[in-house]
Amino acid sequence: MNDDFKILLEFLEGDVSEVGGRSVATIPADVKEKIARFASGKCTEEERVEMKKMLQEQPNLIPALVTETKALRQAPE
């Protein structure tokens, strides 16, 4: 398994509230859109690298990514 996603997959197995921890500031709409594209696998390689860097620099965004990913996994096809 790609180590880039190992931590995210571990979070997905748990409860989102455990990830939140601290109160999260409002996420700008453009960042939410990037998170949604990343979670759905619809971003380019460049966007993926940018998103990984953003998540490393701003770990408070990880709960939003987990929430988005879980929503996609539960969405009817």
pLDDT of residue 74: 82
Q: 23 or 62, which is more confident?
A: 62
Q: Which of 63, 52, 54, 71 is nearest to 25 (CA)?
A: 63
Residue 8 · residue 45 · CB < 8 Å: no
Amino acid at 15: D
The set of long-range contacts for 7-15, using a CB threshold of 8 Å and a minimum separation of 24, is 8/62, 8/65, 8/66, 8/69, 11/62, 11/66, 12/66, 12/69, 12/70, 12/73
pTM, entire model: 0.66
Q: Read off the pLDDT of residues 9-60 as tens digits, 9 standing for 90 and up.
A: 666 666 555 444 454 568 999 999 999 999 999 999 999 999 999 999 999 9
